[in-house]
Structure 1
């Protein structure tokens, strides 16, 4: 089966430099020379669609635009592109979320993918009126997904849990198809929710050995639930015709990070409650030195950005080889991004994807053979899906 590639919609702004913001950082941390208006985001979406990306991740948080509203508008500006909409269960009732997904799938058939984000920072959750601690948020996410998955199967749902309660909830129309659930998290509580509910478990771009450990961990937990889970990875990318040119671009980005910006971002991220964020920080330790933490895996992005903080850097051939290496571990879906997002989509789409196609690892999703396969948008997991 062909590997699946998604791109990214920077709904906080874009630039030829790395735009700040992300996991645990304040709303004012984002920005950029290119405002995240519909015209610019449409350029990114159309480029991704033409190049062969299946979908585009849209982030959630105080530092960016609302993902549901933005992608609903962008669905009219593209034809095939799916939208991996990140949202937080603590900010929306489960019945309403189930209804929103059904509405999205009706008006943009088969083009909704859902990235469930529990929320790793109590201070940000409290700004949205959510005062549960981290363990409570994961428990609530599990209840939320129990309710949503039952609603999507049709019929009336009555549920009473520790955090959520619904009575005689039902949908006038169930989503067709049911959107697959993408879920990440590195803590024990996250692993249990992922094993029970995720169709695709997402990890940030850690070195291959660490990714292999995560895959084995989630695969084992899912097996205990009688389920199987697909695996994806979230990475930035800097790819050029030569390795020297790619590393020169990485150095240009690094040179644009002021010491004050690095110190401020690192101080903010050090307070994060997220285990995944802690693992990202451990890759670079706040230092500009030793940022190539595995062959062609550069941790420099994480100096000024929360969340996914690593990039594949190298020639097109080297980046393709690293993707093949992750694929051999069990990664089937790749959520990529680059700065700026229009230009880097073309560097990757015209430089790396043809090599992967020649290697037999990728087929353009608009090709007839790809359309006949069971594509993204249909849950792959057994049991409860979401």
Structure 2
């Protein structure tokens, strides 16, 4: 079970749908979240993409030197960048980070945003372009290890003699992650990516997606891994968790929900439509209506685009729900919580001990026999800093 956290480059807060409780997201704060995720032994972080976010490649690059093991799931955007350039960026980042790059292939579903970026293809055409993009991207990187070039002529993309002089560390290339709910998305995943990601839908719906992508991949002689993107609200008791879920949207008003849902309705993303259906386009507001599956809460999606559901409950309950998804064949969990710095610690402290293979090593134990100051983790020996290479 791989557990990722999230870098909130579009903002962070204790409340959704309001500026109350908001905190400025600058480089110092982003570094705090990344260092926390790294030191807490999260496997990686997702860095979001879009015009509402800071640029993911710049952000990821700024975090290489302040982290040691953390992997970075960074977006490539067909239509907004050329595949050969994206391959060069990926190879450079992979080398500089010591092989810590993961790729998030993002086709995009907000037509207004895409047009603003100069990309005017419709939904079907975007998937054709995305397939061509990732095919070229993969081939250019794979051939770079042998110094070979690549030619390709497609409907939307063409390259002649595309070549990388400096290959990535990961061979043949950094793994590709991808999410999409349409038939075209499932077909692309089956043919071209290593891991298919779904947003947090009820387990029965996720099982259908997994089965469909897996069957499609088998036709091409491929196997695909699976993951899920979820928010988490975990507290020491169920009552506390549900109270904090309600508190998260306590400052959301009807006008804000209406504006958000109108914007989401203009997107041609099948995944976004499925998220909206979970809360009936914002008309469901009571807890009993927003809990769409045991402990799966759709309240986040009232005002947030993309991933709009959260697992809510005490540590044992949340761990059990994650295991339910794992039993469907999912092994990657991309999680987040508001605010992201505190919740990274809370989830790791409360839930990691309940998940398989989360504790990298057992904590040393010894009897506390004084003298006492504050009795707080006095039996845990501080870890030594990593050894630095000798200078000479």
5+ long unaligned stretches in structure 1 = 21-29, 368-386
Aligned length: 352
In structure 2, distance between residues paired with 1:351 and 1:50: 16
**CA-to-partner distance for each residue in 1:290-327, whole Å, 9 max, x for gaps?**
00000110000000100000000000010000001100
Q: Which residue of 2 aligns with 1:226?
A: 221
Q: Which residue of 2 aligns with 1:316?
A: 315
**CA-to-partner distance for each residue in 1:340-383, whole Å, 9 max, x for gaps?**
00111111100011111xxxx2334689xxxxxxxxxxxxxxxx
Q: 2:95 aligns with which of 106, 109, 134?
A: 106
Q: Which residue of 2 aligns with 1:378?
A: none
Range with greater deviation from structure 2 (208-217 or 147-156): 147-156
Q: Which residue of 1 aligns with 2:8?
A: 10
5+ long unaligned stretches in structure 2 = 363-392
> Does the 8 A contact of 2:14 with 2:338 survive in 1?
yes
In structure 2, distance between residues paired with 1:148 and 1:265: 35
Return the offset for 1:18.
Answer: 2.6
Return the offset for 1:254.
Answer: 2.1
| TM-score of the aligned structures, taking structure 2 as reference length | 0.87
Taking a change above 3 Å as real, the CA distance of residues 119 and 31 of structure 1, as seen in their structure-2 partners, is farther
> Does the 8 A contact of 2:17 with 2:249 survive in 1?
no
Local SS of the residue matching 2:8: coil
Q: 2:267 aligns with which of 258, 269, 272?
A: 272
Return the offset for 1:257.
Answer: 1.1
Local SS of the residue matching 2:13: coil
In structure 2, distance between residues paired with 1:87 and 1:59: 11
Local SS of the residue matching 2:229: strand
Which one scores higher on RCO, CA 8 angstroms, separation ≥ 6?
Answer: 1
Q: 1:213 aligns with which of 194, 203, 208?
A: 208
Return the offset for 1:19.
Answer: 6.0
Taking a change above 3 Å as real, the CA distance of residues 365 and 121 of structure 1, as seen in their structure-2 partners, is farther
In structure 1, distance between residues paired with 2:34 and 2:361: 15
> Does the 8 A contact of 1:53 with 1:365 survive in 2?
no
Alignment of 1:29-108 (within 5 A): 33-108=22-97
Return the offset for 1:121.
Answer: 2.0
Q: Which residue of 1 aligns with 2:231?
A: 236
Q: Which residue of 2 aligns with 1:149?
A: 138
Structural RMSD (CA): 1.5
In structure 2, distance between residues paired with 1:141 and 1:41: 30
| TM-score of the aligned structures, taking structure 1 as reference length | 0.89
